Amino acid sequence: MPKSTTPSPHLVSAQDTWDAPAGLSVEDVTLRFGGIKALSGVTFSAQPGSITAVIGPNGAGKTSVFNCISGFYRPSSGRIMLDGQDVTRLRPPRRATLGMARSFQNIALFRGMTVLDNIKLGRHGHMKTNLLQAFFYAGPAAREEEALRREVEERIIDFLEIDHIRNMPVSVLSYGLQKRVELARALAMRPRILLLDEPVAGMNREETEDMARFILDVKEEWGVTILMVEHDMGLVMDISDHVTVLNFGQVIASGKPAEVQADPQVAAAYLGSGDPAALMKRLAAEGAT
């Protein structure tokens, strides 16, 4: 197992090299596919250094919002602002270098690569090695790779407790571990804001709790703003600072978890009735599964 023999000078607290968390605001975003309005006038924001959850029934437009934010879809109207900068027209790679990282609903790891290489890929946009240096693996290229390896090992792999799988190809890993590797890769991007699309979907109780702990740690220790889409109400209510509810492509409620829980419109969206008590019961039931 590779470990450096001397204490590394790079072992410093996260905030020294990481940029400050970024705020994100979605302003009046409308998205049309042909005649269908997937999103209409969606407005919400994620405060720097907080956890914001976007929830809503299936087909409410949660993933569409994410795809607009990360640049796969271009909104028909409205703006996406990252720390006051309009990013609506930027291509995804550009947004990545501005500090936006995301994970996918159905894991988008590179199956042919090892865990380590997958994580290293996250740093791509911040590295400088050019073709000629790469060809000869000349000074700067070797130094950059070594520094990256050190950072990935000591900062990310240790933090997410995945050192035992670092040299395995991702295709042999369990679902929960793959999700964790995806998080690791996103962290390697040195994100200022992290978009998590259903980070605990399909996980068992224990894996969900691990992931919740990691998400909280990322927010607190790494100082990263987190925006997530999630169905697990227990998780959402536990760790979010702010919740936005979507239904049929519109924001129907927004506020602190407790406020949203009490909102009759939210209950109606989920249950078709306006009874907050029934919703509470159902949320409690979901939290227990």
Q: Which residues bind other proteins (CB under 8 A)?
A: 2, 4-5, 63, 67, 70-72, 91-93, 96-97, 101-102, 104-105, 108-113, 117, 120-127, 129, 131, 133-137, 141-142, 144-146, 149-150, 153, 185, 189
* 181 close to 30: Cβ distance less than 8 angstroms: no
> Which residue lies nearer to other proteins by CB, 123 or 219?
123
**Is the backbone of residue 129 left (phi > 0), alpha (psi -120 to 50) or beta?**
beta
> Which residue lies nearer to other proteins by CB, 147 or 280?
147
Nearest 10 degrees: CA dihedral of 134, 140, 142, 148? -110
* CB 180, min distance to other proteins, A: 16
> Which residue lies nearer to other proteins by CB, 96 or 235?
96
* CB 105, min distance to other proteins, A: 8
* CB 286, min distance to other proteins, A: 26
Contacts of 255 (CB under 8 A, 6+ apart): 242, 243, 263
> Which residue lies nearer to other proteins by CB, 24 or 189?
189
Nearest 10 degrees: CA dihedral of 77, 78, 82, 87? 30
- The pair of structure tokens assigned to 271 is 């249950």
- The pair of structure tokens assigned to 113 is 């690569």
Least Cα distance to 118 among 71, 60, 165, 72 occurs for: 165
> Which residue lies nearer to other proteins by CB, 4 or 174?
4
> Which residue lies nearer to other proteins by CB, 69 or 160?
69
Residue 259, SS3? helix
* CB 30, min distance to other proteins, A: 20
For residue 133, the number of C-alpha atoms closer than 13 Å in the C-beta half-sphere is 11
CA-CA distance, 131 to 43, in Å (whole number)?
43
* CB 60, min distance to other proteins, A: 17
Contacts of 141 (CB under 8 A, 6+ apart): 129, 133, 134
> Which residue lies nearer to other proteins by CB, 36 or 277?
36
Give the single-character DSSP code of 171: G
* CB 167, min distance to other proteins, A: 10
> Which residue lies nearer to other proteins by CB, 1 or 277?
1
* CB 15, min distance to other proteins, A: 22
* CB 64, min distance to other proteins, A: 10
Contacts of 273 (CB under 8 A, 6+ apart): 267
